[in-house]
Structure 1
Amino acid sequence: MGRRLFLSSSQLAAVWLLAGCGITQAEPQPARLSNMNPAIKAELQQAIIKLIGGEPVKLADNAFADSHQLFIEQAILRDPQGRPIMGRHSQPAILLELQQADGQCLLSHPASGRAVALTDSQCQPAATADD
């Protein structure tokens, strides 16, 4: 005579929650770059293209060194005399954020909710970047 195991719905929920805890990922935290070199700058430029499209952007050597945020302004097309072709533009700057989750650096575009993992870049939590 076999014994049957009956679990209540609350017991099933508890088992499901405990199983899920082992596979959840850490919430991304603001981060700063630990180092910058030409390879990392190229990786950032490619990640930016994946996130927002367009041509490679010019990045300063200290991008993401002092802040986890980077604002990219869209270029203004100019005529040969240097005047804006379409007059003033009201396009907002694009915000990108450097984050770290589970030891991985991520470049995220909060407006779209998308992120790209950075494999060559080393980052550290923004709160301890000044150590």
Structure 2
Amino acid sequence: MLKRLMGVISILTIAGCVATESEAQAPLQAATLTNPNSQTHAELQQAIASLLSASGVIIADNAFTQYSQEVIERAPHKDANGLLIMGRSTEMPDAIQMLKQGDNCLLRHVQSGNTTTLLQTRCKVEKP
């Protein structure tokens, strides 16, 4: 009885490993949000800030709903009157892309290739 139980546990463990490996080998596909809400919006802002090593970012409510890629620009430095302090900015904006791999949704910083997995956000493959 114990040998049979151990055999079943071994088979289930192997099946779990195979599922995890096949999920990781699934192709990355450009994706858009499904059912965006305040919770997913907050997760997106936090994930993007982490990818950019920024203290925080602000994104539109409809970010990633129509296109898989968004451009993030740094906020210009302004004085108390709202005038630019540094003049014009020559800094290149950052591109963030939403991807789907199996059942997982990910965000990738295009310039660095760094990727993070979204836990609460659901997405679908972007239509061509």
Is the Cα–Cα contact under 8 Å of residues 43 and 118 in structure 2 kept in the other structure? yes
User: Which aligned runs of 4 or more in structure 1 are off by greater than 6 angstroms?
Assistant: 21-24
Sequence identity, in percent? 36
Residue 57 to residue 99, structure 1, CA distance change in 2 (3 Å):
same
TM-superposed CA distance for 1:109, in Å, is 0.5
Give the alignment of 1:107-126 within 5 angstroms: 107-126=107-126
In the alignment, structure 2 segments of 5+ residues that lack a partner are 1-20
Shift of 1:122: 0.6
> Which residue of structure 2 aligns with residue 39 of structure 1?
39
1:33 aligned partner, one-letter code: L
In 1, the alpha carbon distance for the partners of 2:124 and 2:64 equals: 11
Cα distance in structure 2, aligned partners of 1:22 and 1:118: 19
What is the aligned residue count?
Answer: 108
Note if 1:74 corresponds to 2:74: yes
Alpha-carbon distance between aligned partners in 2 of 1:115 and 1:122, rounded to the nearest angstrom: 16
In 1, Cα distance between equivalents of 2:68 and 2:116? 15
- Structure 1 residues not aligned, in runs of 5+: 1-20
Distance across 2 between alignment mates of 1:35 and 1:53: 27
Q: For residue 27 of structure 1, what is the amino acid of its counterpart?
A: P
Letter in 2 for 1:127: K
Partner residue, 1:101 = 101
Q: Return the offset for 1:22.
A: 6.2
The answer to whether the Cα contact below 8 Å between 2:24 and 2:101 also exists between their aligned partners in 1 is no
Q: Distance in 1 between matches of 2:35 and 2:56?
A: 20
Distance 1:24 1:37 in 2: 27
Bigger radius of gyration, 1 or 2? Answer: 1
Q: Where does residue 88 of structure 2 map in the other structure?
A: 88
Q: Distance in 2 between matches of 1:59 and 1:24?
A: 29
CA contact (8 A) 2:23 2:101 kept: no
SS in 2 for 1:86: coil
Q: Identify the range of structure 1 (78-87 vs 64-73) with the bigger mean alpha-carbon deviation.
A: 78-87
Q: SS state of the match for residue 67, structure 1?
A: coil
More helix by share: 2
Measured in 1, the distance between the counterparts of 2:58 and 2:114 equals 21
